[in-house]
Amino acid sequence: MEKLNSSGSRISLKGFGVLAVILKMFGILLIGNALGHFVLKEVFHINFSSEEQLLELIKTAPNPQSIILKSQGVNALFTFFLLPISYIIFFKRSYIEKFNPVSKRFMVFLFLAVVIFFTGMPLLAYLVEWNKAINLPSGLKSVQAWMEKSEHLAKVLTETIIYYEDNNSFFVVLLIVAILPGIGEELLFRGIVQNEIQDILKSPTWAIWITGFLFSFIHFQFFGFFPRMLLGVLFGYFYYWSGNIYVSMFVHFMNNALSLVLANMYKQKAISFDPDSVEFIPVYSVIISIITFAFFVYLYKRISTEAGITK
């Protein structure tokens, strides 16, 4: 009986520990967002406190793209850089050693991560379509309406921000849409959240999947929740199996950059297929995608074991 009570107490303590990490993460997000809004208001004279106000601002502003770029850039600076870096320096300095820039077989891991990402794209596209078709029960109409509202806002923001006319505007958009999230989100989610949960649970698998769930949740785009969670899980394994956070940072950046370029090309009619649609992807390519994706993931994990990074 004492052993059972002791085991139950350990589980409870671990659960509270994970909850504390999650609350800490939301604290960073909320404080970063508040600081970002303060700077936007005081420095750039951009002020909004709700989705409706932001949408109205986008409709009436002479240059709505500039507003969104400044908003996302300033918020990302506080939320994904200044606050996480400060937290690591003051409370988790030992984690700096885990961001190993020169690890065993780094280029092999980087190459395989890129291959895994591209081989999994057809599968990911079908998951996006499947997720879009999910409807909540009638008793949750208000939740469904909120989800659709959040999705609409995200769509408006994306359509406004992706257009670029020249190289200068392209690099600005690329910085805000791909470089900052690719580095900053990985620093917060894989660098802090995943490491802290793993320290508590002593289970990299649970840490990776919980972090992947949280990564997708905070985007508040629930009609793409499961594909984004799969991406988050994939980034987590890239980091854990390679022992190098720069692998997941690069693939995260590449995913965002590719989405930006394809969406812009479609908007300017430089390509005929819609990158957000799966109509152009035959079923057999999805089957091939699953097989090749699984093979290269297995190869990535095997190399990690052989290099002595994981067991």
* pLDDT for 151 beyond 80: no
> Residue range 61-89: average pLDDT?
91
- For the chain, the maximum distance between any two Cα atoms, rounded to a whole number of angstroms, is 71
**Per-residue pLDDT tens digits for 237-246:** 999 999 999 9
**Residue 67 banded pLDDT, cuts 50, 70, 90:** confident
For the residues 129-140, what does the mean pLDDT come to? 80
DSSP line for 233-261 = HHHHHHHHHHT-HHHHHHHHHHHHHHHHH
Q: Kindly tell me if the per-residue pLDDT of 2 is higher than 60.
A: no
Reported pTM:
0.90
Under 8 Å between Cβ of 100 and 243: yes
35-58 pLDDT, tens digit per residue, is 999 999 999 988 887 777 877 888
Question: Exposed e or buried b for every residue in 236-268, given b needs 16+ CB within 10 A?
Answer: bbbbbbbbbbbbbbbbbbbbbbebbbbbbebee
What pLDDT is stored for residue 265 in this prediction? 81
Lowest-confidence region among 6-20, 177-191, 288-302: 6-20
Give the pLDDT score at 108. 95
Q: Are the CB atoms for 106 and 113 separated by under 8 Å?
A: no
CA atoms of 301 and 93, how far apart (whole Å): 28
Over 16-56, what HEC string results?
HHHHHHHHHHHHHHHHHHHHHHHHHHHCCCCCCCCHHHHHH
Average pLDDT of the chain is 87
Average pLDDT score over residue span 207-213 = 98
Out of 57-66, 168-177, 228-237, give the one with best mean pLDDT. Answer: 228-237
Which H helix or E strand runs over 282? none
**Percent of the chain residues topping a pLDDT of 70:** 92
Which of 9-13, 116-120, 241-245 is least confident?
9-13
Query: Residue 61's pLDDT is what?
Result: 81
